[in-house]
Amino acid sequence: MSAAISEPGAEAAETSVAVKKPAGGGLGRYVLIRFLLIIPTIFILTTLVFFLMRITGDPITAALGGRLTKAQLAERVHAAGYDRPILVQYFEYLGNLLKGDFGTAVSDGQPVSSILLNYGAATVELVFYALIVAFILGIPLGMLAAYHRDKAPDAALRVLAILGYATPVFFAGMILKLIFGVFLPILPVAGRGTTETEYIMSGVVGPTHFYLIDALRIGNFSVMADVLAHAVLPAIALGVLTAGVFLRLVRTNLIGTLEQQYIDSGRSRGISEYRLVTKHAYRPALIPIITVMGMQIALMLAGAVLTETTFEWKGLGFKLAEYLTARDFVAVQGIVVFLAVIVAVTNFLVDVIAAFIDPRVRY
């Protein structure tokens, strides 16, 4: 009798193990496939950017065509190798990219890799601040809209969300500058810091180029306060766009979660609606935010071009606008490829996090 009872238990244990194995394998396969997809994604984007940049001709003629004679142009083009077949240049460019060489800017002679190092941190820092704004505004307001479903606060917040992600970033930036720089001059409206802060940052040994981190490293809290003050308006201008998306996502998914059976069971036990929203239903509603995070970061990087130009925030977007004006396609090509790599890697990390949180993502 006892043996007969123990055998089903053993079978159940084996079945449990057998059930768990595919889940782990599914996750492993999913992560590996998503990682391998980074390679063709970056390759395709790099190829498109390279050939699109060459539609108008070689980079030297595009940047210096009006300032040099034909003989000087021909000499410069030959020295840079731009008179060779386009496919030869393409494969050489790919080889240089594998070595971390993004070329040299034509207009100012700076290595593009140093431009990426010096200005890339500023853009990443701005996107980080904007994400914080998006979370602070989007998630609580989405929960509030779901709590007051189909009532006046819900309608007002939905309109606010639409305005948030429909308003152009540069327009939002100009409005913020007008309000807080002219009518209420309480926040700085340009740059990453004051002249004094920039001078202090230029003297930091082994800088990370993330001003907030460098200010913490040297223990200068006045510089840290100045850096954060300069980040407020550009972060709001860029973050409101994503906050509107988060608000709508949280509201929609929270309303769906509130219709689940376990929520009805909680109501039947007398748990208040507020507690159900804030303690039990909101966590499942946050999963879709994780899944769209990669796309939102890509949109933020695109919006950073206009934000940085509007607020003179000297990041990659600011430099990209400068190099586009100068028709410096070598620098433009390097910056765009670098941003594409960031987007691809970010999407991979977000997908992995989403797969850990929600097993349904793997299948």
Name the amino acid, one letter, at 212: L
* Three-class DSSP category at 130: helix
pLDDT at 258: 75
pLDDT at 175: 92
- 336: Cβ contacts below 8 Å, ≥ 6 apart: 49, 320
Name the amino acid, one letter, at 341: V
Distance of CA 275 to the CA centre of its chain: 33
Secondary structure percentages of the chain, helix, strand, coil, to 5: 80, 0, 20
- How far apart (Å, rounded) are the C-alpha atoms in residues 237 and 240? 6
Burial class (CB in 10 A: 0-12, 13-18, 19+), 71: exposed
- The DSSP element (H or E) to which 362 belongs, if any, is none
**Token pair belonging to 253:** 């998914």
pLDDT at 176: 92
pLDDT at 362: 57
pLDDT at 342: 86
pTM of structure: 0.80
Q: What is the pLDDT along the chain (363 residues), one digit of tens a residue?
A: 444 444 444 444 444 444 444 444 577 888 888 888 888 888 998 899 888 888 777 777 777 766 777 787 788 777 777 878 889 889 988 998 888 888 888 888 889 999 998 899 999 999 999 999 999 998 889 888 888 888 898 999 999 998 888 888 889 999 999 999 888 888 999 999 999 999 999 888 888 889 999 999 999 999 999 999 999 999 999 999 889 888 988 888 888 877 777 777 777 777 777 777 777 677 777 777 777 777 788 788 877 888 999 999 999 988 988 888 888 888 888 998 888 888 888 888 888 887 777 666 555
Task: State the maximum Cα–Cα separation within the chain, in Å, rounded to a whole number.
Answer: 101
Burial class (CB in 10 A: 0-12, 13-18, 19+), 298: middle
pLDDT at 125: 92
- How far apart (Å, rounded) are the C-alpha atoms in residues 76 and 330? 14
pLDDT at 74: 81
- How far apart (Å, rounded) are the C-alpha atoms in residues 221 and 131? 23
> How far is CA 257 from each of CA 213, 252, 287, 320, rounded to the nearest angstrom?
39, 9, 12, 43
Name the amino acid, one letter, at 90: Y
Phi and psi of 219, rounded to 5°?
70, 25
> How far is CA 244 from each of CA 125, 250, 310, 332, rounded to the nearest angstrom?
21, 10, 21, 30
